[in-house]
Amino acid sequence: MRMLKTRTQHFLGVASCPSTKLGATLSVSKGWKVGVVAAALAAAACSKPAVEETESQAPVPVKVEAAETGSIRGVLHATGTITPAPDAELIVVAPEPARIAEIPKAEGERVARGDMLVLFEIPSLQAEVQRQAAEVQRAQASLANAKANQVRQRELFDRGIAARKEVEDADRMVADAEAAVGQAEASRAAAITAASRTTVRATFNGVIAKRFHNPGDLVEAAASDPVLRVIDPRRLEVVASIPLAESSRVVVGASGWLKTGVPGSPDLALKVISRPAQVEPGTATIPVRLAFAGQANLAAGTPVQVDIDAEQHTGVVIVPAAALVREGEETAVFVAMGDKATRVPVQIGLNDGDRIEITSGVKVGDMVIVDGQAGLPDNAKIMIETGEDEDAAEKPEAGAGKEGAAGKGGAAGKEGAAGKEDDAGKEEKK
């Protein structure tokens, strides 16, 4: 019967109900079945509404930094393209509709100043040279005749046969013939110059960037039908597209950087060398040219990302960029006040990527949360983390390790001593 009572009490104890004692008393007097019935009644009696539990809010670990006064410079982020300098690019176009006779250089080959790039065949230009040469000969013959007539008229005038008017007419004919010779020679020179355009030579040392045609091709005298493109890879620059609304922030001479995007590779220094004096109606962006401070090992046509220094503000409130929280168009920061985090709406100014200017909402010395504020509600409990706490947490662990080692050594020493004493006692008995 004592064993039965113990089992019943254990069963009823699981219910954790005040009527357990009643069930136990009945089980003693009536046996096992009565105990089971009593347990059921006790469980029914315990079916009361559960008491609502309240959980205590644990503080959220955060890191803070103080808002400070300093200087900050705005930065414009823009996309651009690597292009040759204006005097470092040559586009070869036929002077007239022609056939390509020769292109000695292939794409990617280097050329020196004066090297022949393209030889065109333009029959009309050669014919014009020959025609102008014939005109020169005709004019020279006319001049010779005019001079001979001039000499004859003067002799007749000296002998009293010819009148003075005939001499004057002969002099005028010589002058006209000389003018005709000069005009014919000028036309022949122009024809020769035009014919020389059939041979195109390099104007600088560079590389054949693109070859659009091959020998034998017929080409038009239009910019839309180029033959070759030659560039100087040592003279490259960046043409960045800046929004028209931000154009006033760009100043000639301002510094910039080209983002390489390669881990471990430094950004390339740039300098603004020009900005357009006028823009076309309806234009959304303006082109800004930036020159490299050093040699750039980049290919022309490469799209790049650039940062350009803009205006600078001094003596303003600055906080780390990581402290800013954006919710739609609203910006805010969390300020640590004791063990609470208060959400403070702010107005921001310049942003250099790492720091942000605060124009209103935060004053110098406020401890703004820079880590751990994501998803943090207003007035939440916080625990400020510092580097000293982490160092203090590491030191006890190191001490515990030393004590453990010392304990093991001490235990080993005691065991060794005890073993020696037992051996000595055995020898004395013997």
How high is the mean pLDDT of the chain?
A: 80
User: Domain extents for the chain?
Assistant: 2-45, 92-219
Q: What is the pLDDT of residue 55?
A: 41
* Per-residue pLDDT band at 388 (split at 50, 70, 90): low
The pLDDT tens digits of the residues spanning 283-326 come to 889 999 999 998 888 899 999 999 999 999 999 999 999 999 99
Lowest-pLDDT choice from 30-44, 88-102, 170-184, 390-404: 30-44
* Per-residue pLDDT band at 387 (split at 50, 70, 90): low
Q: What is the pLDDT of residue 41?
A: 41
Residue 305 buriedness (CB in 10 A; 0-12 / 13-18 / 19+): middle
Each residue of 216-249: b (16+ CB within 10 Å) or e?
Answer: eeebeeeeeebbbbbbbbebbbbebebeeebeeb
- How do strand 199-201 and strand 218-219 relate by DSSP bridges? unpaired
pLDDT reading at 231 higher than 80: yes
260 SS3 class: coil
- Cα–Cα separations (whole angstroms), residue 214 to 100, 118, 196, 219: 7, 10, 20, 10
- How do strand 206-211 and strand 116-121 relate by DSSP bridges? unpaired
